[in-house]
């Protein structure tokens, strides 16, 4: 039986500590709840440009909260106001506690504000242009999901890449209760888990990276010069076609991010100047979860689950054999994205990951695992597959579900590439 704290009122403490980059300083911080007419919390502060500061560079403000010394997880969706691209002047961030803690009383609520140079949330690669043209690569600075990303033209003519923050970043720590890792795999109590494959293991990712907001489409491949069909249909390609074969001297992780001449990824790299690749299993699951620890990225939590509960989640997240049948070709954006605006991370198509497949990904018992790349080989000569597909059960589409296949099998593809700061 779920236990909740019945009282809703929140007592706020004004003691606030701040750290800031040289770009700006933050002072005169106050924290007040709009009680009794509202539960929302106003965090007011003054942003000042120090002598020699750069007035053209905005900053992002991250809110890290505690109740006494206990870290709290503050989601992006619960915050509004002056969060991104903030300049000098009086600023306000509003926290809605009913989003994250609807029935909780805090008696020693306090916040820390950290200020960092603004990073873009989205990178857009326009395949109607050529490498080096003005506007070939552009950036958007958003907090949350960019609504226009769901324009169908993007399925043909653009790669839209969502920035995923490192687990060592303040951005991640603010939504994870101060942790510098995420949990790879499933809790030992998760319904229908595979105990030999799903850990759980603490995992630290030390670099931001870009991930495609949709599965690779035939239209994107066509306009990048390596496809024959101008369609929004999700592409399916083999691991070997994407990267090259072991016989060609291509063997992650021993050959790192090298790809073979003539491979699809080599063509995409030459076309865009970006080091596109498949995600590692750790990158894939981190991007899928988007801060959630529940079986699916919808964040639905129950003390016990059934097949019907999983099927209910899949009705909104993606196609599996119980949510629409075994037809693969739903259009993009037919289902809800996760909290980072990434679509189709549950069901529809299985997706390749870089790693060789083994059951125990943490045989060395590292805590945490740091930027894991998988084993040097696989006894079954198979690569890891994530996401589940249209023929999978709902439980086979969970965030932690792991599968595998021979590298000649055609599956769905989600692109990633390293994050680089466009301001530098």
> What φ, ψ does residue 132 adopt, rounded to 5°?
100, -15
Does 30 score more than 50 pLDDT? Answer: yes
Which uninterrupted H or E stretch holds 80? Answer: strand 79-81
- 395 upstream amide cis, omega within 30 of 0: no
Burial environment of residue 309 by CB neighbours within 10 A (0 to 12, 13 to 18, 19 or more): middle
Mean pLDDT throughout 169-184?
92
Does 50 score more than 50 pLDDT? Answer: yes
CA atoms of 203 and 339, how far apart (whole Å): 20
CA atoms of 216 and 237, how far apart (whole Å): 10
Q: List pLDDT tens digits, range 88-121.
A: 899 999 999 999 999 898 889 999 898 888 889 9
Burial environment of residue 318 by CB neighbours within 10 A (0 to 12, 13 to 18, 19 or more): buried
Q: Per mean pLDDT, which range of 133-137, 140-144, 151-155, 378-382 is the poorest?
A: 140-144
* CA dist 12 → 7, 31, 34, 66 (Å): 15, 7, 11, 11
Q: What are the structural domains of the chain? A: 17-117 (no CATH), 122-418 (3.90.1580.10)
CA atoms of 373 and 245, how far apart (whole Å): 18
Question: What pLDDT shows up at residue 19?
Answer: 41
Distance of CA 370 to the CA centre of its chain: 17
Q: Are 328 and 280 in contact (CB under 8 A)?
A: no
User: Per DSSP, which regions of 118-172 are E strands?
Assistant: 122-126, 137-140, 158-164
Q: List pLDDT tens digits, range 317-374.
A: 999 988 766 655 677 898 999 999 999 999 999 999 999 999 999 988 999 999 999 9
In the structure encoding, which two tokens stand for residue 324, read together?
Answer: 């629409």
Question: What pLDDT shows up at residue 75?
Answer: 85
Q: Which residues are paired to 41 by β-bridges?
A: 33, 95
Question: What pLDDT shows up at residue 404?
Answer: 97
Which uninterrupted H or E stretch holds 28? Answer: strand 25-33
Question: What pLDDT shows up at residue 181?
Answer: 98
Percent of the chain topping pLDDT 90: 67
> What φ, ψ does residue 310 adopt, rounded to 5°?
-65, -40
Q: What is the DSSP letter of 213?
A: S
pLDDT greater at residue 105 or residue 144? 105
- 38 upstream amide cis, omega within 30 of 0: no
Question: What pLDDT shows up at residue 60?
Answer: 87
The DSSP string of 97-113 is HHHH-TT---SSEEEEE
Question: What pLDDT shows up at residue 189?
Answer: 96
């Amino acid at each position: 039986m779920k236990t909740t704290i019945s009282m809703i009122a929140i007592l706020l403490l004004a003691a606030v500590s701040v750290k800031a980059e040289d770009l700006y300083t933050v002072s005169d911080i106050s924290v007040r709840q709009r009680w009794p007419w509202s539960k929302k919390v106003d965090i007011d502060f003054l942003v000042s440009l120090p002598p020699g500061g750069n007035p053209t560079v905005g900053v992002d403000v991250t809110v890290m909260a505690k109740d006494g010394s206990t870290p709290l997880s503050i989601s992006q969706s619960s915050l509004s106001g002056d969060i991104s691209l903030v300049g000098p002047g009086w600023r306000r961030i509003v926290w809605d506690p009913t989003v994250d803690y609807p029935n909780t009383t805090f008696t020693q609520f306090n916040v820390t504000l950290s200020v960092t140079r603004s990073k873009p949330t989205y990178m857009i690669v326009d395949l109607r242009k050529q490498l080096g043209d003005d506007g070939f690569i552009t950036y958007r600075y958003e907090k949350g999901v960019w609504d226009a990303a769901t324009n169908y033209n993007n399925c043909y003519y653009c790669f839209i890449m969502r920035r995923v923050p490192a687990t060592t970043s303040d951005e991640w720590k603010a939504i994870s209760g101060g942790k510098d890792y995420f949990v790879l795999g499933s809790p030992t109590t998760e319904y229908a888990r595979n105990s030999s494959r799903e850990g759980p293991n603490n995992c630290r990712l030390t670099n931001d990276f870009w991930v495609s907001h949709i599965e690779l489409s035939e239209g994107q491949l066509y306009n990048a010069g390596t496809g024959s069909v101008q369609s929004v249909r999700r592409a399916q390609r083999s691991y070997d076609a994407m990267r090259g074969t072991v016989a060609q001297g291509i063997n992650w992780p021993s050959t790192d991010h090298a790809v073979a001449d003539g491979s699809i990824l080599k063509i995409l790299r030459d076309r865009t100047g970006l080091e596109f690749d498949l995600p590692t299993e750790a990158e894939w699951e981190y991007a899928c979860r988007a801060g959630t620890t529940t079986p699916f990225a919808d964040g639905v939590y129950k003390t016990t689950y059934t097949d019907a509960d999983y099927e209910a989640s899949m009705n909104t997240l993606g196609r599996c054999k119980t949510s629409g049948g075994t037809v693969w070709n739903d259009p993009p954006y037919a289902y809800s994205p996760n909290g980072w605006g990434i679509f189709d991370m549950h069901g529809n198509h299985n997706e390749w990951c870089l790693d060789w497949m083994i059951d125990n990904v943490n045989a060395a018992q590292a805590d945490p695992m740091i930027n894991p790349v998988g084993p040097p080989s696989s006894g079954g000569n198979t690569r890891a597959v994530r996401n589940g597909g249209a023929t999978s059960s709902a439980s086979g589409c969970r965030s932690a579900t792991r599968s595998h296949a021979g590298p000649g099998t055609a599956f769905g593809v989600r692109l990633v590439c390293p994050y680089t700061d466009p301001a530098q």
